[in-house]
Amino acid sequence: MANGEQKTITNRNSPFSDAFKKFICDDWAPYSTELPAPVAGATAAAAHRKQLSERYPGERLIIPAGGLKPRNNDCDYRFRPHSAFTWLTGLGTDREPDAVLVMEPAAGGHRPILYFHPRVPRTDEEFYADSRYGEMWVGQRESLEEMAALGQIETASIDDLEPALQNMASQTPTRMLRETDPKLANKLDAWRGRAEKADAELVVTLSELRLIKDDFEVDQLRQACRATAVGFEAVVRELPNAVAKPRGERWAEGVFGLHARHLGNAVGYDTIAASGDHANTLHWIVNDGDLHDGDLMLMDAGVELDSLFTADVTRTMPVNGHFTDAQRKVYDAVRAAQQAGFEAAKPGALFSDVHQAAVTVIASKLAEWGVLPVSADQALDPQVGGQYRRWMVHGTSHHLGLDVHDCAQALRQDYRGELKPGMVITVEPGIYFKSTDLMVPEELRGIGVRIEDDILITEDGCEILSDQLPRESDDVEAWMAGLLK
């Protein structure tokens, strides 16, 4: 609910006596006068705002964080701010529902103001009676001064937002990130007398500006990868328990989720813990299957830090720690495809070159095994081919950052254009042989393998940010042996 709107559930509310209202406000320790340290991303966010400011001189820019979304009845999903809001303010974790960043045009650039719902005095009924903002319900909130210190930014009460926006709205060119606060967007349209087509361009710009990461962002992604490796190691240690219990996929998912919450903010996306034939369903997030000795488990998971930067890593692991000959055959083919992708990922190359390098290896292997009904060259022909995609449906790469599929609103020619230093992408080829696929040799049916790493494009190639986890089949077995002993 945007801009301070509150839920009203009258059938559960109990009236407060005057005596209680007086009593609840008495004898509390004063709030600390010491201001908090800035959040880790505050300095980088100021630089990001400068980038955006240079794109739109003289225009007012409105970027809401978004509001809480009901999960069911009066229960909300855990809040996560819009990634563009975080990129421009540095505020991560669950900060700050209903907040709105406004960049007011000013001499030499813009004056950023963060509007939010600040803490009220303990004499205010909100303190004890408001389940949305009350300190008794959700904990101590920041004052205007404290939030300003956290974000190193000017702050104002959310109550002042609409009058500020309405003032000169029809004369000041304004762009808004509409998707996070449709109600405010509709009001803005009324104030300025039109729906602004330029709003759509702002969405694109906010994605495109994030395509190249700065030092802070790269460091956060490195940390996310390190935390993710810890989670994977914990899952391997727990594989015997996961095998012993029903729905072992969920045991694996839960173990990783525990570490994601402990080491970061949460998982960056729904974890895929797919055993056996489930690995051949690309987005298997049901995770209700048993784990069996002799099967593979494909795990696609990433830790999202408090800054909201996330890793995205996939490993395919033999549940008992040892690949069968058939499993190793498929695994090693995927690994060779990934290596070809790594080698193609360098500045000046096209985004699509990474995919092309990987699928060229996959098509060759499929032809070698007699799976393809045509030659590898024919399968790779963009006009009459594509047959290999029966077993490798998805793309090999996507951009990574605050979103697991980062910068998704960037124009196609920029998203899929030339790779440049500072870009972070995944390299994640796979081969998926469904158990019901009669075109596949019987010994390979039911085997699904994906290997995914996160890489930074450097001045002369790429750096693997997620290199804490092994990739070669022999190394995977040795790694697992050390964890399962």
- Cα–Cα distances in angstroms (integers) from residue 234 to residues 46, 83, 256, 284, 367, in the given order: 37, 29, 7, 21, 38
Residues 302-344 pLDDT 10s: 999 999 999 999 999 999 999 999 999 999 999 999 999 999 9
Residues 156 and 268 in one domain: no
Of 168, 187, 208, the position where a domain reaches its end is: 208
pTM of the predicted structure, to 2 decimals: 0.95
* Residue 131: inside a domain: yes
Residues 325 and 440 in one domain: yes
Of 173, 208, 243, the position where a domain reaches its end is: 208
* Residue 134: inside a domain: yes
Residues 70 and 105 in one domain: yes
Residues 204 and 222 in one domain: no
Of 208, 233, 265, the position where a domain reaches its end is: 208
pLDDT the model gives residue 195: 67
pLDDT the model gives residue 1: 36
pLDDT the model gives residue 10: 54
Residues 388 and 258 in one domain: yes
Residues 234 and 375 in one domain: yes
pLDDT averaged over 10-residue windows placed end to end, the chain, 485 residues: 46 83 95 97 98 96 96 94 98 97 96 97 95 94 98 98 89 93 94 82 97 98 98 98 98 98 98 98 98 98 98 98 98 98 98 98 98 97 96 98 98 97 98 98 98 98 98 98 95
* Residue 200: inside a domain: yes
* Residue 294: inside a domain: yes
Q: How many domains does the chain have?
A: 2
Residues 91 and 227 in one domain: no
* Residue 3: inside a domain: no
pLDDT the model gives residue 196: 73
* Residue 5: inside a domain: no
Residues 187 and 93 in one domain: yes
Residues 128 and 276 in one domain: no
pLDDT the model gives residue 333: 98
* Residue 4: inside a domain: no
* Residue 1: inside a domain: no
Residues 31 and 123 in one domain: yes
| Domain around 67 | 10-208
Q: Any idea what the CATH number is for the domain that residue 170 is in?
A: 3.40.350.10
